[in-house]
Structure 1
Amino acid sequence: MSGDGRAPSWAAGEPRVAHRDVQAIRGPLLVVGGVDGVGWDESAQVATEEGVRHGLVLELDGDQATVQVFEGTDGLVPGAIEVRFAGSPLRVPVGAGWLGRVCNGRGAPLDGGPPVTGDRLEPVAGWPMNPVDRDPPHEPVLTGVSAIDALTTLVRGQKLPIFSVAGLPHLALATQIAAQATSAGTRFRVVFAAMGLTHADIAYVRDRLEERTSSGELVLILNAADDPAIERILTPRLALTVAEHLAFDDGADVLVVLSDMTNYAEAVREVSAARREIPARRGYPGYLYSDLASLYERCGRVRDRDGSVTIVPVLTMPAGDITHPVPDLTGYITEGQIVLSPEIAARGVYPPVDTLGSLSRLMRHGAGARRTRDDHLDVAAQVLAALARARQSAALAELVGAAALGETDRSYLAYREELERELLDQGDAESRSLEETLDRAWTALATLPRQELTMLSPEMIRAHLELPDEGVDDA
């Protein structure tokens, strides 16, 4: 039984010999002596007078085992604790029973329902995916957000992070993506894992995603800021284990949104300090890269099997520093990034995506002919090229004044305003189809002189801007 009197929603196997030799308590960790036959990542139960807490073996040194306690060690006293090791890794029930449920970072229900049950138990750490069996990501996941769908298209099986700064609406964007995203497949599911959020933010997430949760298409796993930090390390692993079963056993396309990965990394650093490990950059452990990779690399597609796992991690960059270890290492592992900009947010644009600083490296695998629309890739390239020129014109205007600019430079300034108003700015509950998004891009491009549209064919220009034939050079 768990501390609240109910059976936990995840299983630890049958506990074996009880150990009472608790030699030290350091933060969320217990050091248990006299152990034998215990392995790494083995789950454990910590029996106290108030109930049972749950843990995981982090380290072994001779006959000592270091156990991280998910519910924290507050109130625990050596000599009054009994630790039992299960003889197997931490496992969680998987299956369609997760759909429509709201649980905490350990899988215990928060929606007043019964514990989640499943067809079988799977290790929370997951199974390594054989690279030989991977299929390249292809086909788009449409988010309903124009700035993403048009210019940094998300592809099924991709990992595409959102880099943000404290104070920007990254949580609103993450929930909007979770609420609106679709793919061409007939079965699409979403797993949203929140880590270290305030209760106000958690209430916002639950309210914003209530419709999709109640429809049985979404799983909510919520870890609050005042929950034990050690639980934060379990939260994304639990979410990905649930997603992998829905994808590779049930054949669904699953989008996993993880917010905020910076809070997760802080929890990893806290546990590392409690273990008295030698710190690396900015106090984070030297294995942070491999730790993040163990999460991000669980996405993808498997050859000869239906379904896919697509990951959108959200992380805040401390002080806006993109070279901070968390965004820096994330960038090495993932396939692009969506960057949110305070300067664009200050102009009242939502979502404040810095389109020139953003990139989806797999966009060409999921956009274009037979996937989205024939003109998609060309339009995206032209929009970005023109925006880069518009920034140069804006910088020149700051030096000499807008009145001193030539006609072409002024047209680029008008283009940037039209692009932000027509394409990039949209409501946080507004979902746009890809057709509408690309048509809005054409509307913005129409403000430029036709000779500036060098990345678009004359046929495309005639088809979408309705120009007379004599106005376009067919050479």
Structure 2
Amino acid sequence: MKEYQTITEISGPLVFAEVDEPVGYDEIVEIETDRGETLRGQVLESSKGLVAIQVFEGTEGIDRNASVRFLGETMKMPVTEDLLGRVLDGSGNPIDGGPEIVPDERQDIVGEAINPFSREYPEEFIQTGVSGIDGMNTLVRGQKLPIFSGSGLPHNDLALQIARQATVPEEEGGDDDEDGSEFAVIFGAMGITQEEANEFMADFERTGALERSVVFMNLADDPAVERTVTPRLALTTAEYLAFEKGYHVLVILTDITNYCEALREIGAAREEVPGRRGYPGYMYTDLAQLYERAGRIEGEEGSVTQIPILTMPSDDITHPIPDLTGYITEGQIIVDRSLNSQGVEPPINVLPSLSRLMDDGIGEGLTRADHGDVSDQLYAAYATGEDLRDLVNIVGREALSERDNKYLDFADRFENEFVEQGFGTNRTIEETLDLAWDLLSMLPPEELNRIDEEFIDAYYVGEEGEEVEATAD
């Protein structure tokens, strides 16, 4: 263990020290102050004779007389199956009043990239109980599907709803999961307020979701540097449960915007040349290191699925954070401000939302086989209704045809009955599809030109409440 008293500069969350031996990148550091306080840090940059150290607890109390010890190892997360049901801070320390963690092993938080040759293609459905996701933008095991929101929108309520409701639906003639794997949730919160933290914990405890969850809490008044560690601790725990214990793990990370702001703050302290809007030029690579840790591995039972949540500054989807996230991930769920102002819960705008793996994850069988067609027909009908709303503002509803008025009614009911379900309602995929057919039955059968005739014959319901024979080509 090497120890120095050679601090040359303290800048924001960074400490610079002179060294006479090579020091490894990401190496863990202990800094002992004159007051006897020991702070932890991590080597952020190492060059000949000088290192930059990011201090997790902040640099308050550190002066040039402090001692710097290099421990010769990178940061590791103590992992065990007993972490389920525990609440940890952003550095991985228990804050729930429970016992200290007795780990089965300690794993490097940087993780290991999944060999593309060993990746198994995501094809299996995860039921969130939210119709706007399950019916229109299906989540698949091993997928990374972010939620794009805005300041003041209820993305936290949606995150909690998914955390407590997400499950692997029972297969016909099988157990809860076809390979016998269990389901777990890793919840990583970064830069949230104490009020939000209290709401999260109250909901987890009230619903019992905490029993199958591991919660990491980094608060707004915690050091920004800790925010860069929190998601890596969460993902390391997820990988252990998935690939060593066989769990199907859903990782929810909120708020990625706060994480990126921490990267910008550290970059400014290092006096780096900024990229777009002041964010570091390496932010794309850094985000990819997090998002690409989702997936399935051939021969392994478990999987890691990610739902990162970010608030778009000024609701700007072209902002660097959502823009780069969209390049890396497989779609996005858009939380809409206008739907929220109408009282729709959850306010998911399905038109700009997308799940690129949906077609592979909706499965087979009569109920599932029509899922993709039904989703396409709902999109087309809702989009038509949206276009007609603009026309109504010009010519009035009386000037529209009977067909156009049906589409307007459909758009209203789609928002108020399909998307709107409240944050406490858990719908099965069968209930979602039944509701979809109820809405589609508002339209004449000949308008359902995206659905096979056999499914219209089977599910279309006429005005009298009876199934009718399809007349679509």
Q: d(CA) in 1 for partners of 2:301 and 2:370?
A: 29
User: Structure 1 residue 458: deviation in Å?
Assistant: 2.4
Q: Tell me what 2:296 maps to.
A: 301
Contact 1:33 1:65 in 2 (8 A): yes
Q: d(CA) in 2 for partners of 1:77 and 1:37?
A: 23
Q: Tell me what 1:11 maps to.
A: none
Q: d(CA) in 1 for partners of 2:238 and 2:467?
A: 52
Q: Tell me what 2:471 maps to.
A: 473
1:59 to 41, 45, 68: 45
Q: Report SS of the residue matched to 1:384.
A: helix
Supply the AA of the counterpart residue of 1:276.
Answer: E
Matched, 1:277 2:272: yes
Supply the AA of the counterpart residue of 1:304.
Answer: G
Superposed counterparts of 1:274-423, under 5 Å: 274-370=269-365, 373-423=368-418
Q: d(CA) in 2 for partners of 1:409 and 1:395?
A: 12
Q: d(CA) in 2 for partners of 1:227 and 1:293?
A: 24
Contact 2:441 2:461 in 1 (8 A): no
Q: d(CA) in 1 for partners of 2:313 and 2:260?
A: 12
Q: d(CA) in 1 for partners of 2:255 and 2:296?
A: 24
Superposed counterparts of 1:122-137, under 5 Å: 122-137=107-122
Further displaced range: 185-194 or 147-156: 185-194
1:17-42 Cα distance to aligned partner (Å, 9 max, x none): 21111111111111111241310011
Further displaced range: 84-93 or 363-372: 363-372
User: Structure 1 residue 340: deviation in Å?
Assistant: 1.1
User: Structure 1 residue 248: deviation in Å?
Assistant: 0.4
1:108-129 Cα distance to aligned partner (Å, 9 max, x none): 1110112323111111111121
User: Structure 1 residue 61: deviation in Å?
Assistant: 1.9
Matched, 1:452 2:447: yes
Q: Tell me what 2:92 maps to.
A: 107
TM-score normalised by the chain length of structure 1:
0.94
1:77 to 58, 63, 66: 63
User: Structure 1 residue 138: deviation in Å?
Assistant: 1.2
Closer/same/farther in 2, CA of residues 333 and 214 from structure 1, 3 Å limit: closer
Identity among equivalent positions (%) equals 47
Q: Tell me what 1:9 maps to.
A: none
1:362-390 Cα distance to aligned partner (Å, 9 max, x none): 00111041597222111111100111111
Supply the AA of the counterpart residue of 1:325.
Answer: P
Q: Tell me what 2:2 maps to.
A: 17
Contact 2:445 2:471 in 1 (8 A): no
User: Structure 1 residue 250: deviation in Å?
Assistant: 0.4
1:35-66 Cα distance to aligned partner (Å, 9 max, x none): 41310011111122242211110101211111
1:43 to 9, 21, 28: 28
Further displaced range: 260-269 or 449-458: 449-458
Contact 2:438 2:461 in 1 (8 A): no
Supply the AA of the counterpart residue of 2:307.
Answer: V
1:223 to 205, 209, 218: 218
Closer/same/farther in 2, CA of residues 182 and 406 from structure 1, 3 Å limit: same
Q: Report SS of the residue matched to 1:357.
A: strand
Contact 1:212 1:218 in 2 (8 A): no
Contact 1:213 1:220 in 2 (8 A): no
User: Structure 1 residue 95: deviation in Å?
Assistant: 1.5
Supply the AA of the counterpart residue of 2:135.
Answer: A
Q: d(CA) in 2 for partners of 1:351 and 1:423?
A: 10
User: Structure 1 residue 358: deviation in Å?
Assistant: 0.2
Q: d(CA) in 2 for partners of 1:159 and 1:470?
A: 40
Q: Tell me what 2:172 maps to.
A: none
Supply the AA of the counterpart residue of 1:87.
Answer: G
Q: Tell me what 1:188 maps to.
A: 183
Contact 1:139 1:371 in 2 (8 A): no
User: Structure 1 residue 462: deviation in Å?
Assistant: 2.3
Gaps of 5+ in 2: 170-176
Gaps of 5+ in 1: 1-15
Contact 2:163 2:209 in 1 (8 A): no
Q: What is the aligned residue count?
A: 459
Q: d(CA) in 1 for partners of 2:301 and 2:43?
A: 34
Matched, 1:68 2:51: no
Q: d(CA) in 2 for partners of 1:152 and 1:253?
A: 19
Contact 1:368 1:375 in 2 (8 A): no
Supply the AA of the counterpart residue of 2:163.
Answer: A
Q: Report SS of the residue matched to 1:358.
A: strand
